[in-house]
Amino acid sequence: MLNRVGAAIGRVWDGLLYLVEISSRQQITRTGLVFSLACTLVGFAAFASANNLLFLVLAAMLGTLLISGFVSRLTLAGLEVDLDLPPHIVAGRRLSAKATVCNAKRWMTSFSVTMTAVGDGSFPDPLYFPAIAGGGTAEATVEMLFPHRGSYTGSRFLFSTRFPFGFAERRVPVHLRREILVYPSIDPQPGFEAHLAAAGEEIEARTRGAGSDFYRIRPYEALESVRHLDWKATAHTGDLQVREFARDQDCAIELCLDLEAGPEGEEWFEKAVSFCAFLCWRLSERGARVRFRTASFDFEVPRDGTAHRVLRYLALVQPKPGKPVPGPDDARAYRIIVSPREEGWESFGTSVPPRIVTLE
């Protein structure tokens, strides 16, 4: 007995789910409501008067409703979508993409089709295609925005149409069966430019040395050796000027990200990822040698490749408790450690202390 009751309840539940799905895929328009009301009135009049002409009119009206639903279903059947995106996508930046809709039906044209994106990365305005020939394609350029870094899989789009008579709007969801990788933002956030400027000053101070390549002429500083005085520049300016030379080997920059987010949690980690992406991108644009390291990643730009490889890693990286920043293996490198902790770096034992960035 209980099994029969359970089976009956299951069938009722499946029927309700089917009705919900049908209602979500098809919405009656105002024109459809008026036409349905007219069908109801004609039906009442036909049964009340037993007039054969009214029965013929009612049959024609109901046939029109059935044909409308059948044609609208065929219109959306066999439609596929693809997006032609740039090879590198950065969170928070608008980009232009080409949306291509393919009609897999060989002999039937799809009329009056509207495409809307659902979820993150959506374009604000729907795309309208008056007609897509059977076996053909239709293209449109759209402006998209991905607000967050990460992997976007199964992006969802919605096709809809009111063809042929506008009695109902039929909707069909379509999924994009490929991954879209979005880099973290490389645009400056509050405080990022200040850290970049401070790091640039310290790097420039370490770049000066006793190499053979001329670097610049600058004013003489107290207690400096006079063997590099530039007498011609001194006579021209009236003040002592010194020739400065660059080091024979450029100063490498080692950027480290602490994967132990700590009590600050996800919000701090997302900001730290964006800062590392910003700093690595800006320094690489200046031609600097940047080595980016975490507990599970080690990559140097430009020796091992471009900065895009670092951005791809940062697009998917997540906090990993118990994975501290790796220790130094190049005493000459200028180290920048992005971590929520200011203490605990004395054990590194380098001659030049690392710069700790907590992003407070």
* Total length of the chain: 360
Within the chain, strands assigned E span 26-28, 79-84, 94-103, 110-118, 127-132, 137-145, 150-161, 168-182, 208-209, 213-219, 241-246, 253-257, 290-294, 297-301, 334-338, 355-357
Q: What's the one-letter identity of residue 221?
A: E
CA distance 214 to 10: 84
Q: What is the pLDDT of residue 23?
A: 44
Low-confidence spans in the chain with pLDDT less than 50: 17-23, 210, 247-249
- From residue 222, how far is each of 215, 226, 301, 351 by CA, in Å? 20, 10, 38, 24
DSSP 8-state symbol, 229: B
Q: Which of 249, 63, 79, 273 is nearest to 172 (CA)?
A: 79
Q: Which of 248, 249, 253, 255 is nearest to 333 (CA)?
A: 253
Q: Which of 171, 173, 137 is nearest to 155 (CA)?
A: 173
H or E element that contains 43: helix 30-49
Q: What is the pLDDT of residue 359?
A: 81
Q: Is the pTM of this model over 0.75?
A: no
Q: At which residue do the structure tokens 């109902």 appear?
A: 168
Q: What is the pLDDT of residue 314?
A: 94
CA distance 206 to 221: 16
Residue-wise DSSP of 322-356: T-PPPPPS-TTSEEEEE-S-SSS-GGG--SSPPEE
Residue-range domains of the chain with CATH = 11-182 (2.60.40.10), 192-210+250-357 (no CATH), 212-246 (no CATH)
